[in-house]
């Protein structure tokens, strides 16, 4: 009896006793220990999951803020440039007028000289602001030639940024696959991945990354599901696939930042995401170089993407400063 465990169960009908051997006691003890261990581990995982969720929510909010800022970058640059150009023109006109008045009105020369100095400082600050936006070295000299040169440069950059793909096509949760060789999640072998995969909830807006014309909108049955293909200037093309729905039709003209579709999980896909490609004369390029391209780091695209003969662009109007309309 000393190696047995006696368990007594009492009910309204009386009591009954059950004896358990030493092995049974070990099994029960092990069960109790495992139960307590499982409870402790579950609590730890729950706390850890809540912490990870909080971090993910914070990261998602940061991505949301960054995307909203990036999405309107070109429009903001254009608006600021137009306002700055108008302001510079008014200030320059007022400065010239006051200088002319100073010549004719000697008795008010001192007062007008002060006003000219103030306007000159305002013009210089505005000019430096334009140089900072273009990521150029600032200059202390304020001349009409410098103003004209900077305005022309800004307009040229904006023209290129509206013509060639740049910026994010979607507000993503994160990047799940980059451009290059990878292990295909369905085919289970290494093949070339010609774009970037952005994880996004079904129904997330998809925006075209440059002005162009819709070459295709629909489902080709090639595994990419519903897709939109857009032709852009200078031989560039962008592709948006695995869509849930499309908002444009073939032959439709679209402008940069226009919503053209909603992301989905159609075709051969392991989860909701947007597959985004940038092509030049049918050759896939790394979209990452174009996603990060903007007015401030304008020259980086020419060194990062060497397969495009950028040098020939300088002869095109309106990029050719000497060209006449």
What is the predicted pLDDT for the residue at 324?
A: 47
State how many domains the chain has.
Answer: 3
Instruction: Match 């006449």 to its residue by tokens.
Output: 324
CA angle 144/294/304 to nearest 5° reads: 115
Domain end position, chosen among 28, 48, 69 = 69
Whether residues 241 and 274 fall in one domain: yes
Residues 205, 246, single domain; the answer is: yes
Boundary residue ending a domain (163, 194, 222):
163
pLDDT value for 114: 45
For residue 233, being part of any structural domain is answered with yes
* Residues 38 and 122 reside in one and the same domain: no
Which of 41, 69, 97 is where one domain is finished? 69
Does the residue 32 lie in any domain? yes
The CATH number of the domain where 288 resides is what? 2.70.70.10
Is 64 found in the same domain as 80?
no
Q: Is residue 110 part of a domain?
A: yes
pLDDT at 2: 54
In a shared domain, residues 181 and 260: yes
120 and 97 share a domain? yes
- Assigned domain for 84 exists: yes
Residues 146 and 114 in one domain: yes
Please say whether the beta carbons of 88 and 147 come within 8 A. Answer: yes
Which range of residues forms the domain containing residue 64? 5-69
Contact call for residues 276 and 238 (beta carbons, < 8 A)? yes
Residue 123 and residue 218 in one domain: no
Residue predicted with more confidence, 194 or 4: 194
Phi, psi for residue 239 in degrees, rounded to 5: -130, 135
Could you read off the pLDDT of 35-45 as tens digits, one per residue?
Answer: 888 878 877 87
Residue 14: pLDDT band (50, 70, 90) is: confident
- Are 141 and 223 contained in the same domain? no
Task: Provide the H-helix boundaries in the chain.
Answer: 22-71, 73-104, 109-133, 144-163, 287-291, 300-304
Query: Looking at the domain assignment, is residue 325 inside a domain?
Result: no
Is residue 319 situated within a structural domain? no
Residue 91 lies in a domain: yes
Same-domain status, 108 and 129: yes
Question: Hey, which of 124-138, 149-163, 232-246 has the most confident mean pLDDT?
Answer: 232-246
Do 156 and 100 fall into the same domain?
yes
* 322 is a domain residue: no
Region of residue 214 (left: phi > 0; alpha: psi -120 to 50; beta: else): beta
Give CA–CA dist 205/259, Å, rounded: 6
* Count of other CB atoms within 10 angstroms of residue 240: 27
Residue 241 Cα distances to 99, 131, 224, 272, angstroms:
61, 39, 6, 11
Least-confidence region, from 11-25, 88-102, 158-172, 291-305: 88-102
Residue with tokens 């909830």: 201
Are 22 and 86 in a shared domain?
Answer: no
Query: Of 108-122, 124-138, 251-265, 288-302, which gets the smallest average pLDDT?
Result: 108-122
Average pLDDT score over residue span 85-114: 56
Residue 91: pLDDT over 80: no
């Amino acid at each position: 009896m000393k190696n047995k465990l006696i368990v007594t169960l009492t009910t309204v009908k009386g009591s009954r006793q059950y004896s358990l051997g030493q092995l049974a006691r070990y099994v029960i003890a092990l069960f109790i220990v495992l139960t307590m261990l499982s409870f402790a581990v579950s609590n730890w995982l729950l706390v850890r999951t809540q912490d990870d969720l909080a971090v993910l929510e914070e990261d998602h909010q940061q991505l949301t803020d960054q995307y909203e800022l990036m999405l309107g970058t070109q429009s903001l640059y254009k608006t600021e440039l137009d306002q700055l150009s108008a302001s510079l023109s008014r200030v320059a006109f007022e400065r010239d007028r006051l200088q002319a008045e100073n010549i004719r009105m000697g008795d008010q020369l001192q007062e007008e000289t002060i006003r000219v100095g103030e306007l000159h400082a305002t013009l210089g600050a505005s000019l430096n602001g334009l140089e900072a936006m273009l990521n150029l070295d600032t200059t202390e000299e304020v001349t009409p030639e410098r103003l004209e040169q900077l305005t022309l440069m800004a307009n040229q950059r904006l023209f290129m940024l509206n013509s060639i793909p740049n910026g994010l096509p979607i507000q993503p949760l994160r990047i799940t696959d980059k451009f290059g060789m990878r292990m295909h999640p369905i085919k289970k072998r290494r093949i070339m991945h010609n774009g970037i995969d952005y994880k996004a909830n079904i129904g997330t807006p998809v925006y075209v990354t440059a002005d162009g014309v819709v070459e295709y909108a629909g489902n080709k049955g090639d595994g990419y599901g519903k897709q939109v293909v857009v032709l852009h200037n200078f031989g560039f093309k962008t592709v948006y696939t695995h869509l849930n729905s499309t908002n444009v039709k073939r032959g439709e003209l679209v402008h940069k930042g226009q919503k053209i579709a909603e992301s989905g999980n159609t075709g051969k896909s392991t989860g909701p995401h947007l597959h985004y490609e940038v092509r030049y004369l049918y050759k896939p390029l790394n979209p990452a170089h174009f996603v990060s391209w903007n007015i401030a780091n304008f020259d980086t695209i020419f060194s990062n993407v060497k397969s495009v003969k950028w040098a020939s662009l300088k002869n095109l109007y309106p990029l050719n400063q000497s060209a006449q309309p």
